[in-house]
Structure 1
């Protein structure tokens, strides 16, 4: 990293006070067959490049020494200023700036940009901070057989006297942050469609065109656009919606306005499981959620990056469940996002969700499962705490009042709090500014065959002794001839170390008592002994996949915390895994079975446990449909256990 290529929060704040309404006119020459490209822009200040060819401010030359390789220092600014910069920038292979890739199949060259968080100035000089929104106009020279895609629709014209070069022009964008601008260029294969008045496009390398399945991608895209437009009470705000699968992409996807880039892993080159298709749908919907929350309204500084990502994670699952065929989104959320958050939150490296980000170099230090996973889990709890209707009305207010501008966590919570009857400043201190997670345990007394009293005990680890307000549900389940069925469920606030559940006083004892039914809060859950015995033998009889997921998670945490032994956990999985119809859940459980043997079981018991697992896997393999996802999962389990 260039030693001067950083930006502090204080510098950004002072610059935002000085600069107002910047306009960018950016010209790129991508026709060179080399490691550099030419750039010209009408604005100012961050610019990471090997050379600055010329720089003029208000018609006067800026001295060469004003450029340190990462910044151009400007002095004696007027009320209105015009800056002209001509420079040569480098193509990157580090996943930031303008990235260049040569396809080994057909030797065609493909380019794509990636600017989050602080890399737009690797391609053009700019105020590279999210709260200096501006309008951007791009002009690009490119080979005639290339397609160039940016945030706005583009027009291509042949360059006079140069039959192999076209000039692409893109109209001025609405006000947006520099990290959301994008240029993707190359001989991309494209498929177009339309949804209402929105132009849609899907692009990939020509050598991958045979594997692209645009029909499914367009279907999810259209479902998402309809859902978000209604949820936010705000139609899609930009001119088009292109999705591009680009080579050597450094992340999963990026929410560039109208020009969303994806990792090529989402172009499936072989048979994949339904869980993998669900993952792609979720990625599509995650990036789309940002078009309103993150793009139309953008964080003021990077300390709210967690909110940007957590919100999109939460909303993408909500959209997936309510608008697409992938109805088990909350089951996946419980098994993956919550499990990942709990795991990260119990490591020595855990930290509060709302972390201090004093400069750009600090951003990615806290960009982890706490940022993405726990943040989304806590937002799900916030929705339960204020109600989904209240939450969405607050989001609608937030978007309408702050469109094309910037906002902070305080703004967001203020808009959600209005009309909720909840004090979200106090909630924020307990949930967002402290690390660690609580354990929720049912404590019941019985009188004959009835519940004498029931309470939820809330515990906190000594290193993070925070007792938090939880809005959650408690469910009573009974075994009947048709399986295990919900008898009764109540929602309540659990905000103390011990909270009575008076609604169940005098109820007949349940076969299974489930704290955090519906999976509304973020915590470790415990089962009482009666429920543990029921789950051990009869969990597969429970028809609700989300309730099963909550119980599986509780059992896993009880194993990790030494409240049940590994020798009890493996039979529990093998007795009940046949009740799971979601391939992702089956794969997770098989991985946990292996961990129970190798990580949490005694070394002397490993061989016998592996023999049991291998035998069960072989029988399940024989009973699986030929070519099914489950046959593949059981085959992998057998091979791993039989080694």
Structure 2
């Protein structure tokens, strides 16, 4: 993010300006440090004689003129535009810095072959790092890009190119004018990319065949690993589903998907050219969970083509309109159009757990958030904006019906196509379609904070049947809203070794207590599952007998979604210090073999290891960790050789291994000889690094072994993982060297994230205690110096661990009082403190 535009400034500029076109010429042949950017903007002003500003950040302005009159270059990335006419032309020519932080036009040199790759990333307000513009979402315009690039490069933008001509030093690419877009959605991808081509051809609307050219791109050194056919298959399925569901053809012509290096996000929904992290190019074996996650991301970004790109939020307060909808739509389309038909199970166990965690922090915020400026927006790309918002939409759909919901969306798209909209506009479409005033729903769900808790309160007669049954709702003291919930209650019986549903009742609950007469006279059974089918967003507490059933027999619950809901319930109990972390790990070990959903399995294994490392008391931890690792190894040995299940278990075992015997298994896997215990395990590049990291954490691998591994894998991924290994060496010297790398502020962000994970290995709590105060000192020094993305990464990743002997809450309050950081940074530090307080409360139980 470059400048920090405020909402008030954006509103004033929006009232003043109507922007028509950007003609942007880029010369990418001018050297490794800067590129030439020449921009002509044509726009109208509603009040001739008024003044405003345009943005261009990180540039040496060579020429700036408004309506033929020269302008000063401007300061702090803003070019003042005085004395506007009714119709205006702004021309700006500049040499602009390439980015190495993932913002603006990012430049990357592949360490494997020396090839150079570029990609742009403009959300939330970084288009100004590539061309002069009015960088806010509601000033939409058409873009005409012309790009001069080296002769062997491919250049991609939102629209298709209309010509490529040879020029001195390379080739000039001319692109067709785009449809009207927000600045943050413009895109340029350039470099010697490998390109796989395909086509979507179908008649999903029954109005004639729709043809969409498809391409998938990655850099040349990853091409041998690029499964473009799988990616394009998911893409075609998504187009079938969305065009049918939304009643509208894909609006942007062609559809490119570029997997680009050093990308800061999972993906970005640029219309016509979506960009993705290269994490989704699998150079090593992965489990089906990774394939499901990639498919979810592909479908999430595709949903944005309608919700976000065709119809765009007016300001970032309504970011949730984009992200919550796309998250919900991705799960819906995965379930309806792909092989991941249990995507709602993944959503229930993985996505919702993140939402519940975020919503219980002191920094929680409404889904429809108050965003006064751009920096406040950046930290709102969180689990409330994405997962809680999607959960609330799922609850709304359970209430009004999926077809009614989709019909309202069709109204919304048709009414606001190519424009901008607000929450009120969506509520209007929902009200018109349902005949209900949706303002009350919005007030309850979108404008309040904190999760409710639901529990069953019942009595049994002498036969074991319900003589009374009610759902009791409560709310946290600081967030007292009680909401209307659409829920299902399932009664489950143990039959022939399976726990199966006998009766399901669906109803609306509201207020502190809702009677459920439909269950009177029903036999209690073995499990009373509140929020069966995961319809609403709420924490759930089970009655004692039902909890005993879940803890003892969760693997025998026959329905995958009911099982996922149950896993979420017991993880929440751990987080609220109501269930022993060691007991949770035991339940995972007993039940994970029956989990069919690869993503749920991955989440459970990660949570089990985390629970033991973070929440088990220090004197009990070694024995608990050894027991868990032994269990994981036993499961891996028993799993089908070479299966996804075996790989997931081996990965988890590697993170938990601690005893000499367990570490010897890792040594054997890392050696050329392997181990006979784990037949079928392929020790490829990424698994080798995981094995080496564990040896580094436990003091069995030093710099020489890490250097040798990096020499064998000199890729950027190898560099990232080597940085984690170096930082994980348990010595003061290694930690000091790693810390100095952190504070130098030059590591790529992905490398910094890996290295921070290694530095703060759970086993090194005492070793890193000396950096608790240093963390706050660094934040004080760099908050206004580093790019905000780097500050955010450091603020999150370097907050000291809960087991530190330092008084972290006191140090946090001292830092906040003395440094007076901006609200967005204050929030990140408080979230670190909240997690420490929660962990310590669990440890104290």
Shift of 1:604: 4.7
**Match for residue 358 of structure 1?**
372
Kindly state the Cα deviation for residue 396 of structure 1 after the two structures are TM-superposed: 0.8
**C-alpha distance in 2, partners of 1:621/1:545?**
22
Q: Is structure 2 residue 142 aligned with structure 1 residue 144?
A: no
Q: 2:59 aligns with which of 50, 68, 81?
A: 50
Structure 1 residue 641: Cα displacement: 4.9
| Aligned counterpart in structure 2 of residue 572 of structure 1, from 577, 587, 590 | 587
Report the TM-score when normalising by structure 2. 0.73
Task: After superposition, give the CA deviation of every residue in 1:387-438 in whole Å (9 maximum; x if it has no partner).
Answer: 2111111111100110000000111122122232443211212212222111
Partner deviation per Cα, 1:447-474 (whole Å, 9 max, x = no partner) = 1221111111111111111111111111
Tell me which residue corresponds to 2:309.
295
Partner of 1:204: 218
Q: CA deviation at 1:599?
A: 4.2
Q: Whole-Å Cα distance in 2 between the matches of residues 427 and 326 of structure 1?
A: 31
Please give the alpha-carbon distance, in whole angstroms, between the structure 2 residues aligned to 1:31 and 1:591: 46
- Pick the aligned partner of 2:101 from 79, 94, 102: 94
The worse-fitting range, judged by mean Cα deviation, of 462-471 and 597-606 is: 597-606
In the alignment, structure 1 segments of 5+ residues that lack a partner are none
Relative to its length, the structure with more helix (as a share) is: 2
* CA distance 1:48–1:549, shift in 2 (3 Å): same
Equivalent positions of 1:338-487 (< 5 A) are 338-448=352-462, 449-481=464-496, 483-487=498-502
Residues 221 and 285, structure 1, Cα contact 8 Å, conserved in 2: yes
In structure 2, distance between residues paired with 1:336 and 1:232: 27
Q: 1:638 to 1:105 in 2, by over 3 A?
A: closer
Given that 2:589 and 2:632 are in contact with CA atoms closer than 8 Å, whether structure 1 keeps it comes out as no
SS at match of 1:418: helix
Normalised TM-score (structure 1): 0.95
Shift of residue 533, structure 1, vs aligned partner: 2.2
Q: Matched residues in 2 for 1:592 and 1:143: separation? A: 48
Q: Shift of the alpha carbon at 1:195?
A: 0.9
Please give the alpha-carbon distance, in whole angstroms, between the structure 2 residues aligned to 1:75 and 1:111. 35
Query: Which stretch has the larger CA shift, 230-239 or 341-350?
Result: 341-350
2:12 is the alignment partner of 1:14: yes
Q: Which residue of 2 is the match for residue 122 of structure 1?
A: 129
| Partner in structure 2 of residue 319 of structure 1 | 333
> Residues 371 and 243 of structure 1: is their aligned pair in 2 closer, same or farther, counting only changes over 3 Å?
same
Distance in 1 (alpha carbons) for counterparts of 2:228 and 2:18: 42
Cα distance in structure 1, aligned partners of 2:289 and 2:256:
24
Partner of 1:230: 244
Report Cα offsets for 1:550-603 as digits up to 9, x if no partner.
011111222332434446434433332221122332232233333444444454
Partner residue, 1:633 = 648
Kept after mapping to 1: 8 A contact 2:490/2:503: yes
Q: Paired residue for 2:31?
A: 33
> Partner residue of 1:154?
161
Displaced runs of 4 or more, over 6 A: none
What is the rounded CA distance, in whole Å, between the counterparts of 1:15 and 1:507 in structure 2? 63
Unaligned ranges ≥5, structure 2: 43-53, 202-210, 660-845
Counterpart Cα distance in 2 of 1:17 and 1:583: 50
Is the 2:486–2:506 Cα contact (8 Å) retained in structure 1?
yes
Instruction: Give 3-state SS (helix, strand or coil) of 2:522's partner.
Output: coil
Aligned to 2:700: none
Shifted more, 595-604 versus 95-104: the winner is 595-604
Q: What is the distance in 2 between the residues matched to 1:625 and 1:412?
A: 49
CA displacement at 1:612 relative to structure 2: 3.8
Aligned partner of 1:534 among 549, 553, 563: 549
Q: Name the stretch that deviates more: 102-111 or 347-356.
A: 347-356
Deviation (angstroms), 1:642: 4.3
Tell me the distance in 2 between the aligned counterparts of 1:599 and 1:208. Answer: 36
SS in 2 for 1:455: strand
- SS of the residue corresponding to residue 81 of structure 2 reads coil
Question: C-alpha offsets along residues 523-548 of structure 1, whole Å, 9 cap, x if unaligned?
Answer: 11111122122223322222111100
Partner of residue 21 from structure 2, selected from 16, 20, 23: 23
1:367 CA displacement = 2.4
Give the equivalent residue in structure 1 for 2:233.
Answer: 219
Indicate conservation of the 8 Å contact 1:51/1:89, yes or no: yes
Alignment root-mean-square deviation, CA = 1.8
CA deviation vs aligned residue, 1:189-239 (integer Å, no higher than 9, x gap): 101111121000111111111111111000000000110001110010111
Distance across 1 between alignment mates of 2:262 and 2:234: 24
